[in-house]
Chains A and B, each alone.
Chain A
């Protein structure tokens, strides 16, 4: 198999020594079937053991290896060297504080994931004498939004999140929509009170970058627009006589 030498420009940052990040160059001999993650592993194993980065499954299901490759937020296990030019700029996921090297601080998103109540909310108890069935048609309504692997590439692409960290953001809203559209769930009103608040859906201006970069084709932009419609209708519903907020 032929080899190709890639010049990696990797953003380095040591919180104990550096006042700001700087680029470091590595020449990596790559096999043609490699993903850029393999090139990073080569650097760590052979050139510079101090390089820090997150990765795990190497098969696009864990969401750990999100980084900026030539300015695009991608999963490094899903981005192949055959699709990249000879010089590759590797940076940590945009719009997040850098912890160290290519590792970002995800505390903000972790807090938002909890705030969104991403579980089945029911007032009525589930059936006890038979299975709680859900038809294929009912599953189709929300299945695509279950595909989110929390890689946060969408946050790296979203300019509204870049400008205002209060924005709840694409992944959390798409995941909430997954529950709002689940036939077993009865918590849409409750969730909308949080997610259609001023930091929620209305901050989105439908740039659509999130859906363009999502490696699992979740289409968070669609989820958010549908949640805006839900929120608008819910606002009026809550003001009908006899309704409770």
Chain B
């Protein structure tokens, strides 16, 4: 008997949950502002681009988005199980693949912002 690999995903899930719990409401609030036409000055191209071009901005955005992705992926796997879907291996591969692709995309786009 040995500690299951689930330990790793759970760690990502917990970290991602913490990050999401603290920051996602602010993110949703920002989207709400933008949707209602009131774009805050920090989200106009110049400042948004400057933030994402910097090292701190890249690191912050990468950590927040990728951890949130892994949190959502693992929880979605559990949701499938709780709703009675019994294909755990398949579901796990699918959700973690999406999280991995999302993580790679995030890294790629961030890298492309100069």
Contact = CB atoms under 8 A, between A and B. Distances in A.
Q: Touch between A and B in complex, CB under 8 Å?
A: yes
| Interface size band for B | 10 to 19
Chain A's interface size range is 10 to 19
A234 B78 contact: no
A238 interface: yes
Given A232-B8, A232-B11, A197 B3 contact: yes
A163 B8 CA distance: 24
Contacts of A159: 82
A228 B78 contact: no
A103 interface: no
Q: Give the secondary structure class of A's interface.
A: helix
A198 B6 contact: yes
B7 A202 contact: yes
A238 B14 CA distance: 20
Contact of A235 (B1, B8, B14): B8
Interface stretch (A80-88, A150-158, A173-181, A188-196): A188-196
18 contacts: A159-B82, A163-B81, A193-B1, A193-B2, A194-B1, A196-B4, A197-B1, A197-B2, A197-B3, A202-B6, A202-B7, A228-B7, A228-B10, A232-B8, A232-B11, A232-B14, A235-B5, A235-B7
Interface of A: 159, 163, 192-194, 196-198, 200, 202, 205, 228-229, 231-232, 234-235, 238, 245
Given A196-B3, A202-B7, A234-B3, 18 more contacts: A163-B82, A193-B1, A193-B2, A193-B3, A196-B4, A196-B7, A197-B2, A197-B3, A197-B4, A198-B4, A205-B82, A228-B14, A231-B3, A232-B7, A232-B8, A232-B10, A235-B5, A235-B7
